[in-house]
A and B are shown apart, each in its own frame.
Chain A
Amino acid sequence: MKSSQRSKTTLSVVLGIICIIYVLPMVVVVLNSFKLNTYVKTDTFAIPTGEMWAGFSNFTKGMTFGNYPFAASAGYSVLITVVSTALILLFTSMAAWFIARVDDKVSRIVYYLCVFSMVVPFQMVMFTLSKTADTLKLNTPWTIPVVYLGFGAGLAIFMFVGFVKSIPLEIEEAAAIDGAGPVKTFFLVVLPMLKPTLISVGILEIMWVWNDYLLPYLVLDRTKYMTIPIHIQFLKGSYGTVDLGATMALILLSIIPVIVFYLLCQKHIIKGVAAGAVKG
């Protein structure tokens, strides 16, 4: 009894330390976003009080820096994230339903190609991809979601197929007998049952697209369109001087939506991860 209690305490301490290690960078970002630029490098871990306190000046500075409006970057980020995630969820869930239910050679090949795409690093294809995207005019915030759909499909299809396979086929057969064609069966019966996976895939895709830097940097026409990560990168001056305070402030702004979103959906994330593991 005693030893099990001791091991529990040890575990708590170890996990606590790991937790601090994980949270620390975020705390540093929060602290430094309210610190005057000169103190960011010298007193990185200090709490901004007295002369170090910069108030919200870093935020205003960051948002007005350069000649590109931050609001536009934020707007494009939201647009790209929402549209990409919606496209990914809609198309991959449909594709996964087909792959899981139509067990023929073609669907198996498509499935393995999708899974394979997960192991190909982005850096391997990025130059050919950005060239192709340019040619196909996929270089605007309205069309770049198509590129995201391609990249997000692998993981999403992998997750959806696993979940669809755990749904008893009889439910869809019952729908067919009740009078639903494939389209109605999908939207009225299958899609609502996919909810846990829709949420977990949605969260993963939102976090990925929102934080993504390289793909929009390579594909988008930077003179016209920026996303928040690109905007932050442009805070760097031409000679390598960086306004760290302003950078931290913008980073904080960019991670707040993700954190809020995550906290709201936490319950579903755990459900989604467990979904398919046990028969529902």
Chain B
Amino acid sequence: MATVSLRHIVKIYPNSGETKKHKITNLKVTEEGVLAVQDFNLEIADQEFIVLVGPSGCGKSTTLRMVAGLEEISKGELYIDDKLMNDVAPKDRDIAMVFQNYALYPHMTVRQNMEFPLKLRKVPKDEIDRAVDQAAEVLGITQYLDRKPKALSGGQRQRVAIGRAIVREPKVLLMDEPLSNLDAKLRNQMRAEIIKLRQRIHATFIYVTHDQTEAMTLGDRIVIMKDGVIQQIGTPQEVYDSPVNMFVAGFIGVPQMNFYDGNLIKSASGKYSVVVDGAEIELSAEKQKNLTDHKVPEQAVTVGVRPEHITLKEVPGKMIKGTVDVSELMGSSVHLHINACGKDGVIIVPTLDLKGNKTFTMGSPIEFTFGGDVAHVFAKESGKNLEFSNDTVQE
């Protein structure tokens, strides 16, 4: 049970040999070194589940490791329960961590692995036994307690790693891509387990992943990062509905949001519309208001629409033309990979809507449209969502 505050946290790797490691990313390089994390600000409430998400090299793991005390904080302050933690050793922060590659002690049995943190804290033997048995019960690993980690499968090992982390009831539970080493089926299963686990233990969770599905399903709030900079912080619904820029819009949601070149125009009555491929679509009242509030002028823009928000229903004068590249039947829906306005994109069509009488062969023409409530309008240059352009993005 703890609040965690990250205030103006910066991580700089000095410009020596370390620089080579970060060459592949677009991290900012200053005279001091490579800026792996820039001015990270986040207030985490007690028992909140925060997910840090972003592509590899975006600084999410570095941030987590700074909270854990495994990386030094170059600048800024970290508070756990209002206590400054910058110079406190990892073991004294009352945190636990689950690593991507499990990091179990190979020479110890499952029981010994789970006992280890308690033994080091000199907890009485009977209490240790009780805690371990209880954690094993919760995670369903009771029958493996006497095995060594190498005799366990990946999913079981990850359970043990989680068990080792929860036995001592830490204030903050850190998870660094804990499901990345598991196959798809196990990952889904473990994701559900983590959701259940959350109900049982009263810790604050900080979870790092590059998988947007995990982020959306697990997090109370999601922190989306890119190149060491926070792009957006919000609930899954917020970041899905109101992405602040094209990066967030493209990163959250599967399949990815479609982007088309278009124009933002303002009618004589002051109503905003977007024009894509000759189709003029008037934006919804809420979007009108946001754009009006920010006094957004007419301009060439990038229009973003999620695949699931595109419809094939005929609306005269508002249809955009394209051609079908590939049609994938997913069961409940069909994913149509199309090319329109010179850009590749995806449309999700519910199978029911097709009623089986329409097939899409490669190269066949297609017409589609979208509503004014689901169109996102991004500035051409900066990629920022014009609805929020006096913005939440940190420079």
Contact = CB atoms under 8 A, between A and B. Distances in A.
Interface of A: 168, 170-171, 173-181, 184, 188-189, 192-193, 195, 280
A178 B101 contact: no
B116 A178 contact: yes
Interface stretch (B103-111, B321-329, B346-354): B103-111
A175 B96 CA distance: 10
A188 B108 CA distance: 10
B91 A173 contact: no
Given A173-B97, A173-B99, A174-B99, 12 more contacts: A170-B99, A171-B104, A171-B106, A173-B90, A174-B164, A176-B69, A176-B90, A176-B91, A178-B120, A179-B121, A188-B116, A280-B106
B117 interface: yes
Contacts of B164: 174, 178
B97 A179 contact: no
B68 interface: yes
Contacts of B121: 179
Most interface-central of A178, A179, A195 (chain B CB within 10 A): A178
Contacts of B101: 168, 170
A177 B107 contact: no
Contacts of A193: 105-107
Contacts of A168: 101, 103
A180 B91 contact: yes
Which DSSP category, helix, strand, loop or mixed, fits chain B's interface?
loop
Contacts of B96: 177-178
Contacts of B89: 176
A74 B317 CA distance: 103
A180 B108 CA distance: 15
B264 to A, nearest CB: 49
A195 B107 contact: yes
Given A171-B105, A189-B105, A280-B106, A179 B70 contact: no
Nearest to B122: A179
Nearest to B17: A103
10 closest A-B pairs (Cβ-Cβ)?
A179-B120, A170-B103, A178-B117, A192-B107, A174-B103, A179-B91, A170-B99, A177-B90, A176-B90, A171-B103
Contacts of A174: 97, 99, 103-105, 164
B95 interface: yes
A50 to B, nearest CB: 57
A177 B91 contact: yes
Contacts of A177: 68-70, 90-91, 95-97, 117
A195 B106 CA distance: 11
12 contacts: A170-B99, A170-B100, A171-B105, A174-B97, A174-B103, A174-B104, A174-B164, A175-B116, A178-B164, A180-B120, A188-B116, A193-B106
Point out which of A170, A175, A192 has the most chain B C-beta atoms below 10 A from its C-beta.
Answer: A170
Contacts of B105: 171, 174-175, 189, 192-193
A195 B121 CA distance: 26
B101 to A, nearest CB: 6
A70 B82 CA distance: 72
A106 to B, nearest CB: 14
Interface string B37-80: 00000000000000000000000000000001110000000000
Contacts of B70: 173, 176-177
A280 B148 CA distance: 14
B88 to A, nearest CB: 12
Nearest to B174: A177
Contact of A179 (B103, B104, B106, B117): B117
A171 B105 CA distance: 7
Nearest to A194: B107
A181 to B, nearest CB: 7
A189 B121 CA distance: 16
Contacts of A184: 120
B85 to A, nearest CB: 13
A273 B52 CA distance: 42
Contacts of A195: 107
B342 to A, nearest CB: 46
A173 B89 CA distance: 11
